Amino acid sequence: MSKIAISVHFGVTSQSKLTLLERYIDATYANNHQISCIFLYQDGVYHASQNIVSASDELQPSAVWQRLADKAIPLLLCVTAAEKRGLNTENTTPFTVAGLAEFAMISSKSDRWVQFK
């Protein structure tokens, strides 16, 4: 079993990339691997915004993130990238505010680091 750290760099308008991320995680678990964490970085921090509203016939990013949180995957939000983009870092559930150094420590203990851009 290997440990995989994931960083998400794409914004919320990339629905196909979010679907691909969820499928990748499902396949990872199906092959008995573990996700160390998912780190939202660069435009990926917009996934933690409380102001994102999707049309009812579109993929709901918040539902995807909740499904991933329900799998007990640590969901980390880069505080610097979030603040730089004007996001409120006070209420970020299901994400935990973290720094790039924390992600570096987690990824150094993982077997792989996979980026979704």
> Of these residues, 18, 78, 79, 87, which one is catalytic?
78
- Answer yes or no: 37 catalytic: no
Dihedral pair phi/psi, residue 76, rounded to 5°:
-110, 140
CB within 8 A of 32, min separation 6: which ones?
1
> Which residues are known catalytic residues?
78
